[in-house]
Structure 1
Amino acid sequence: MVDKKFTVLDLLSLELHGHDEINLRCIAGRKGLSRQITVPDINRPGLALSGFYESFAYQRVQVFGRGEYAYLNKLDYEGKTDTIKLLFSFAIPCCIFTHNLEPSGTFLQMAEETGCAILVTDLESTELSNRLVRVFSNIFAPRKTMHGVLVEVFGEGILLCGHSGVGKSETALDLVERGHRLVADDIVEIRCVNGNTILGQGANSLISHHMEIRGLGIINVSELYGVGAIREQKEIQLIVELEEWDSNKIYDRIGTNQRTMDLLGVKIPAIEIPVKPGRNLPIIIEAAAMNERLKKMGYNSAKDFNQNVLKWIETGEAQAAYYGQDDIY
């Protein structure tokens, strides 16, 4: 759920663009703009208007399309307003009418009396429903902040983690110089969307594309490298943990054991890269990004190498190469 209260007024105030615009305007019941939206879903109240209020999902935003609008007009014409009064007896967050349809004066008057906001949009019912579900899934998604740098490399969202001073920002800057894109530096806000997708972005949109480079200070990546060097958000598809080289530690040299890290309940592939002078981290991360793409396409280099070695051993050529021809016979 969201960390703070999300109200109908917040829904009206959202700055959405393109295919996420919902174009809402309030025509009645402004006192209800302070009502909270607590459920990230919508409801079509057709059954409720017919008088069946058992299991009525009143906690959801109520969407009225052409069918509900026509039935409301029929009830108003016949003077059957009891079911409408019963509708407003529930603490519903708000009512949204699609196709720029505006309900009758009787309906608006009841909304004013009960303090329920009535909103209107020019979108069709199906399109509004799809957009609202996307908006709610984003707003109500579980989220937290992490210390790290998020970059996009060859289309893969890579989260660079590690202790302070290990070189995350310097590595990210080198990647930007090589044509890749920065999403966020230092503080990354992550959220789980649809239960299986982890999206990352800057915790503060005003400073997310600034980087702190020790010895240089704060730089603005978008101003230095252009808007093509930044991105607002990106799905996290790989985690790269940078750590100081430890000569006593055994690092994975083949890659057959796939490590993962849990982010908000989702397992994300993770690799560990030791850092020491002379290692070209940007090239290693580029190779890791391309290797991850290959895995998604069904090819695993480590497993393929392992299978080839086993085939080589089975043919007997490995014994001949190790022992020599005379030792075998």
Structure 2
Amino acid sequence: MADSVTVADLVDNIRLDVLYGEDLLADRKITTSDISRPGLELTGYFNYYPAKRVQLLGITETSFAKGMTSDDLLQVMRQMCQPETPAFVISTQLEPPEELLQAAQESKIPVLGTKMTTSRVLSNMTNYLEGKLAERQSLHGVLVDIYGVGVLITGDSGVGKSETALELVKRGHRLIADDRVEVYQQDEQTLVGQAPAILAHLLEIRGIGIIDVMNLFGAGAVRSETDIDLIVHLESWSPDKKFDRLGNGDETQKIFDVIVPKISIPVKTGRNLAIIIEAASMNFRARSMGYDATKVFDDNLNRLIKQNSKNNK
């Protein structure tokens, strides 16, 4: 988990315009993903002013400011410009109040602008900051995008995870991370996985070593991150181990607060794991769209039993 994000990173990723403080961006730190819309503060109420947040002013705030006297507005803006305040953002291509620019210059706080509406820029900044500042967990496994399904392949070391990922890449799917997957929770139902910077686009194959997937297979063979929709756990086959044969198991794994569906696949000589995982991903996608092959089988079986019962009467 990153402790902070610079205002320079925010400007680059959200594509904000710098109205004041170009030379200040790299030194200003953002430590929370919450965004403040300072409405009550414009009236002089500062009892609970969240100074550590990015301050976003839209049509409502700037319209209210126009009705204030210059002295009163300057006093309020100076109170809003605290040492820990990262930056001010003006939405909808509005002109920032002169009093804000004066107070920001006195306190050396950047003032940013954007053509986006207040709701849009608020959503974009929140999503970006939540992704960067969220708590992270490092998991051992391989993350692959298969037909738009983020599949986390887990299993003991040496079971064949990386080799399977290589075969999946050759079949047109995209690698996100090999060996270590950095995972964070985006919201109540979504996990996002990405590769550590040092391992991005790289795959380790025993006997060959490290290969650069993007260099060998092209930019279309990799992704920087993806949601984790399904966990496929590879286990060495054993006659004593029972595996789900009908697909009606409800195995899951909890990561942070998110419950992720999980499938255990036996690894045995002669099995094409890449094709099996590809089929598992397509089946998962079909089930999420309302088609359940296991239910179809059960319905067909019940229909056959009823038909045989009638014929035997």
TM-score range, shorter chain: 0.7 to 0.9
Residue aligning to 1:63: 56
Show structure 2 runs of 5+ residues with no match: none
Aligned to 1:316, the other structure's residue is in SS state helix
How high is the TM-score relative to the length of structure 1?
Answer: 0.83
Q: Give the C-alpha shift of residue 15 in structure 1.
A: 7.5
1:256-295 to 2 correspondences below 5 Å: 256-295=248-287
What secondary structure sits across from 2:30 in the alignment?
A: coil
Alpha-carbon distance between aligned partners in 1 of 2:101 and 2:10, rounded to the nearest angstrom? 24
Matched, 1:52 2:45: yes
Q: 1:164 to 1:26 in 2, by over 3 A?
A: farther
> In 2, distance between residues paired with 1:131 and 1:259?
35
Matched, 1:101 2:99: no
Structure 2 counterpart of 1:178, one-letter code: R
| 2:36 maps to 1:11 | no
Report what 2:181 is aligned to: 188
2:170 counterpart of 1:177: yes
**CA 1:52–1:33 in structure 2 vs 1: closer, same or farther (change >3 Å)?**
farther
For residues 1-329 of structure 1, what are the structure 2 equivalents within 5 Å?
3-7=1-5, 10-14=6-10, 16=12, 20-24=14-18, 26-27=20-21, 30=24, 34=27, 36-69=29-62, 71-72=64-65, 75=68, 77=70, 81-88=74-81, 91-98=84-91, 99=93, 101-104=95-98, 106-113=99-106, 115=107, 117-126=109-118, 127-204=120-197, 206-317=198-309
Alignment RMSD, CA only?
Answer: 2.8
Q: Distance in 1 between matches of 2:17 and 2:210?
A: 38
Query: Which one is further off, 156-165 or 207-216?
Result: 207-216
Looking at structure 2, the residues matched to 218 and 280 of structure 1 have their Cα atoms a distance apart, in angstroms, of 23
Identity of aligned residues (%): 36
Unaligned runs of 5+ in 1: 321-327
The equivalent residue for 1:324 is none
Say which SS state the counterpart of residue 234 (structure 2) adopts.
strand
The CA distance in 2 between the partners of 1:80 and 1:297, in whole Å, is: 54
Count of residue correspondences: 311
SS at match of 2:110: strand
Letter in 1 for 2:260: I
Quick check: 2:16–2:112 contact (8 Å CA) kept in 1? no
Return closer, same or farther for 1:131/1:89 CA change in 2, 3 Å cut-off. closer
What amino acid sits opposite 1:188 in the alignment?
A: V
